[in-house]
Amino acid sequence: MSFFDTLKQYDWDNIKDSIYNKTDQDVLHALNQASCNLEDFKALISPAAAPYLEQMAQKSMSQTQKRFGKTIQLYVPLYLSNACSNSCVYCGFSQKNKIERVTLNKQQILEEAMAIKEMGFDHLLLVTGEHQKEAGFDYLMRAIEILRPHFSQISVEVQPMSTEEYQQLIKVGLHAVYVYQETYHQENYKNYHPAGKKSDFKYRLETPDRLGKAGIHKIGLGCLIGLEDWRSDLWYTALHLSYLEKHYWRSRYSIAFPRLRPSAIGFQPNMEIMDRELLQVICAFRILNQEIELSLSTRESATFRDNVFKLGITAMSAGSKTEPGGYAVHTKALEQFQTSDQRSPEEVVEMLHKNQYEAVWKDWDKFM
């Protein structure tokens, strides 16, 4: 039994119709509940909820501060490699793109790490393309062993692995894994992932199951907003979260909101989500789940992040570089995507302090 078996019980078109048929009364019912279910969540992400964004934002902010206080955890991605064997049509790292491929060696990894430490970070997210030979399990194991003495928390956003491989990585210091399904529309998934291991919808979908069985501390979920109908994809993300929390309750969970934009390789999102709609989604997830961590990356503009972080967000990246060697080594590698908020970590911290928020560089410490 895995989430793939659960997913088969739902029809995409029926879920989509149900969301778009929600009414004002459904939204008000959801807002008046002490705790929401997945049916309420449909109402909160529906077009009918748009006039109630202010009420949603107030409730989301109150629930976030009650659980997390006025704090924002800061993290930064370290891109180790842009080698990739997949052909994702939206990604600059696709194997079809004629770009310079770079995989950092031990010395380069340490140079990048020291530059990141100087910026103040103690929470590091390792990112690679999906290439078994260049950046597979053995490479990642060595990278974590190199970096673990320098950082309190190491997370990864890399190719899916087996339960046994995750267990070995946890032993050497892996804290969290972020794995995005991209879209839960199984029929159209292949259109965006025509070649490579990532084209296996079922294997990717079951990755969080394998992580839960491995006993990982935290699992990050999400979809690429704009591949398919984003309201439907986000409802399936919520369904996935609900399933995982019931089956692997010892792990913590986070949700990210990567919004697709027109890319340098010519990809155009199929469906645009506006700023107000993205805020609606953030608030809906907080109202659904008061324990979930919600993350907002530098894909978003400084103006948007400054205006919405208080309304449900608990983690933000800062000073991000999305190419291997972007902090110190300075290779000629192509960025995976262009960041929008290009402020330094110091500037982001200053913004948080002006809003009476505390920047958290790590969310735990040892007690001796």
Q: What is the pLDDT of residue 97?
A: 85
What's the mean pLDDT in 49-72? Answer: 98
Decide if pLDDT at 335 tops 70: no
Scanning the structure block, which residue is given the tokens 């107000």? 276
Task: Calculate the alpha carbon distances from 242 to 36, 245, 254 in Å.
Answer: 12, 5, 12
Q: Of the ranges 95-99, 179-183, 289-293, which one carries the lowest mean pLDDT score?
A: 95-99
What's the mean pLDDT in 243-271? Answer: 88
DSSP class of residue 328 equals T
What's the mean pLDDT in 90-98? Answer: 86
Question: Could you read off the pLDDT of 98-132 as tens digits, one per residue?
Answer: 888 999 999 999 999 999 999 999 999 999 999 99
Q: What is the pLDDT of residue 30?
A: 98
Q: Confidence class of residue 296 from pLDDT cuts 50, 70 and 90?
A: very high
23 Cβ neighbours under 8 A, 6+ residues apart: 43, 48
What's the mean pLDDT in 170-199? Answer: 97
Q: What is the pLDDT of residue 268?
A: 81
What's the mean pLDDT in 241-263? Answer: 93
Class of the 3-360 domain? Answer: alpha beta
The tokens for 177 are 């894994």
CA 75 from centroid of its chain's CA atoms: 12
What's the mean pLDDT in 333-355? Answer: 84
Q: What is the pLDDT of residue 260?
A: 86
Q: What is the pLDDT of residue 365?
A: 57
Q: What is the pLDDT of residue 338?
A: 63
* In the chain, domain spans: 3-360
Q: What is the pLDDT of residue 239?
A: 98
Q: Confidence class of residue 337 from pLDDT cuts 50, 70 and 90?
A: low
Q: What is the pLDDT of residue 88?
A: 92
DSSP class of residue 47 equals G
What's the mean pLDDT in 79-83? Answer: 94
Q: What is the pLDDT of residue 93?
A: 86
d(CA 198, CA 88): 8
What's the mean pLDDT in 79-89? Answer: 94
Measured CA angle at 186 (ends 169, 240), to 5 deg: 55
Decide if pLDDT at 324 tops 70: yes
* CA atoms in the 13 A half-sphere facing the CB of 337: 19
Q: What is the pTM of this model?
A: 0.95
Q: What is the pLDDT of residue 334?
A: 53
What's the mean pLDDT in 76-88? Answer: 94
Contact present, 256 and 155 (Cβ < 8 Å): no
Q: What is the mean pLDDT of the chain?
A: 93
Q: What is the pLDDT of residue 91?
A: 87
d(CA 135, CA 166): 15
Task: Calculate the alpha carbon distances from 116 to 52, 224, 317 in Å.
Answer: 41, 27, 12
Task: Check residue 256 and give left, alpha or beta (phi > 0: left; psi -120 to 50: alpha).
Answer: beta
Task: Check residue 271 and give left, alpha or beta (phi > 0: left; psi -120 to 50: alpha).
Answer: beta
